[in-house]
Amino acid sequence: MPEIMPTQAPAHLRMGSSIGQPLTRREGVLKTTGAARFAADNHPPGMVYAALAVSSIARGRVTALDVAAARAHPGVIEVMTPANAPKLALDPDAKTNPFMFRLDLLQNDRVRYPNQPVAVVVADSLEAATEGAALLAPRYEAEPARTGLDSDESFAPPAVGAGSPAEESHGDVAAGLAAASVRMEAVYDTPAQYHNAMEPHAIVAAWDGDTLSIDTPSQGMAMAQARIAGLFGIAPEGIHIRSPFLGGGFGSKGLLSGPQVLGIMAARLVGRPVKLVLRREQMFGPVGHRAPTRQTLRMGADGEGALTALSHHAKTASSTFDDFFEPAASASHTLYASPAITTSHEAVRIDTGTPLFMRAPGEAPGSAALESAIDEMALACGMDPLAFRLKNYAEVEPLSGKPFSSKALRQCYEQGAARFGWAARPQAPRQMRDEAGLLVGWGMGTATFPALMFQGHARAVLRQDGTGVVETGAHDMGQGAWTAFAQIAADALGLELDRLEFRAGSSDLPDAGIAGGSAHTATVGVAIHGAGADVIAKLADLATTDRRSPLFGAGNAGVIARSGRLHRRDDEARSESYADILTRAGRDAIEGQGTGAADPAALSAYAMHAHGAVFAEVKVDPDFGQIRVTRLVGAFAAGTIVNPRLVRSQYYGGMIWGVSFALHEHAVVDRRSGRPMNPNLAEYHVPVNADVPSIEAILVEERDVHVNALGIKGVGEIGVTGTAGAIANAVWHATGTRVRSFPITLDRLLEA
């Protein structure tokens, strides 16, 4: 890894700003010393353990469970089955909003997918609970499993992703293809993938009457609180969720899952606190995954290499009982200028757990196919891949026609290509070898991700001693949110960081919304910024209306907050400390509130995206087809950078995910049983240290005055979106062989 060098704050940020500084993680010592308490680290008095028994078939029903054998096992306290599970106030299959997914909570004996929970065993030790679950020995009446994208009749889904239209278009694609001098059509396949966060889904639940205390990893505590309240018929205020640390989420912990609710049900059944932690293989089913896709790209271009038409069609799969459809074709909405674009989706239902949002949903598989197809089109036109992308550079969002709120993609291309040395790339494949005789290839891909915002809230307090407190129910999944939010809070309150206390990770704090969609820093950051501004406005009012203050008569607009003091804007030498202002006013503290949300007017006027370009080098053994990524350079423009150290870390993580997508990651499903055959980290391959190449992330300066008050765009997912395609293109450049099925494994390369 390259050394992370200090980066200056953007020019538009004021002197002394915490924003833009490469600070180390505030929680880093806690995590590296083991002091950070994750959900499963909690052991309330009287706690017992729960273990799931899960289905080994994909479809059918449970005909028998040996409950007597499980109950007779030493240490077993109770066995929860559909016969004795606590009754719920709401049908788990009911849906009242698009972000509510149907849950398997022992409603009946039906099996809808492999690894579906069919019983829960509670015992006084984890070993006893696990052994009791094994003794249940479920017997089934199995039905044929439906697997794969060709297993059933396909249909047009009503919506894709989070409610986007399944089909969108502008212009006449058929006419554009007919008029083209050059045309291409290709089909790309991407596999089912599973989130596999290091920390498995877990819950420690304790009831006290109708109040409930929970420790569980959550990317959306307020949403989980509301879902639990509905299921159990209790007030949301009676549910306290603690989630200070997450060992990764990637979307799988954004919405409450069935196993978490089963832990709560088990605690109610036995009247004691219960801990339930999923085993690794149990995460392949009830907690979401990325669905497989088959994508067909058709393009036409004129004699100069300008696109005349682009068609992107994606086929995907969802479960038989719920609706989530991977919006893969939507990746073609925003990147390349064409007078005619159409994107469409179709789906099949298979016997699987319901797919869910997974890091860069839609964009990750969609961009892998799109960026591969763009390279194939560049080759057909006889153009360098970068030159072809620049030829078809979109000055406005292609599908909507909206201007971009900001777009520094040209600078990303320029800086990334220069750093990588792209100008030395030969046009033809199989032209480069290293000193060991390995084939060397260079490829590139464009990265993009929407600059989203949800809604979140924050509270800020200035105390009489001149210190501050900022509170928000925010989530830190490892991205460094505690640090970035503290930096924004320190700026908002005009305090040094060591004078600020930041509190997060608990549902009794202001609702921070959901940590997903690369939107958390923008959403919560703007809320914190607003709360700080509210406090400073109130403090300024106290000072500027008090004749005893040197700030008297300055007016609210005439002061600057910095280093624990208010200064007159027109005469900064005249100032007063926060402590003096509050003491003279007889106030122990002053409080402010803030909300972060997208501006509807800006949303209607502008297309808002982060952009980037990724350049990849691979080396391929010419005899055995073994592929190694040896170098990655990514250049990204994402508005205001709160902390360059943390942002680089996010870019590195995203690009490593791209390596995983391109070369390693896929779920292998037995077509006969529908069961995942590699539900573990030994056989479900993700990159390890030896697979991670030299990575460099260039932070391209970009200022966006429209996206939100702080100019922040998300960085968590964009690194994935350019990298997989860049690696696929590099493999072609090294070998002259185009593999259109991901991951690109050596057998596929040799067979192509």
DSSP-H helix ranges across 88-125:
none
Cα–Cα distance for residue pair 277/329, rounded to 1 Å: 36
212, 261 Cβ separation under 8 angstroms: no
552-to-119, 423, 464, 574 alpha-carbon distances in Å: 70, 62, 20, 10
Determine the straight-line distance between the first and last CA of the chain, rounded to whole angstroms. 33
Of 496, 573, 564, 501, the closest CA to residue 536 belongs to 564
DSSP-H helix ranges across 172-240:
173-179, 221-232
Cα–Cα distance for residue pair 85/83, rounded to 1 Å: 6
Side by side, the strands of the sheet bearing 182-190 are: 168-170, 341-350, 307-319, 293-301, 182-190
Task: Scan for tokens 């030493």, then name that residue.
Answer: 74
Cα–Cα distance for residue pair 194/358, rounded to 1 Å: 8
Residue 547 neighbours by CB under 8 Å, 6+ apart: none
Cα–Cα distance for residue pair 425/618, rounded to 1 Å: 13
How many Å is the maximal CA-CA distance in the chain?
85
Catalytic residue among 397, 501, 717, 751: 717
In the chain, DSSP finds a helix count (H) and a strand count (E) of 16, 27
Of 1, 5, 2, 13, the closest CA to residue 712 belongs to 13
Side by side, the strands of the sheet bearing 60-64 are: 110-111, 60-64, 139-142
442, 430 Cβ separation under 8 angstroms: no
131-to-51, 205, 324 alpha-carbon distances in Å: 9, 22, 35
Strands (E), 543-587: 559-562, 565-568, 571-577
Residue 77, helix vs strand vs coil: strand
Residue 651, helix vs strand vs coil: helix
Query: Quick check: is 304 catalytic?
Result: no
Query: Which residues on neighbouring strands pair with residue 636, listed in sequence order?
Result: 612, 699
**How many residues make up the chain in this entry?**
752
The DSSP result for 228-247, as a single string, is HHHHHT--GGGEEEE-S--S
Q: What are phi and psi of 593, to 5 degrees?
A: -120, 150
What is the identity of the amino acid at 244? P
Cα–Cα distance for residue pair 301/310, rounded to 1 Å: 9
- Could you list the active site residues? 717
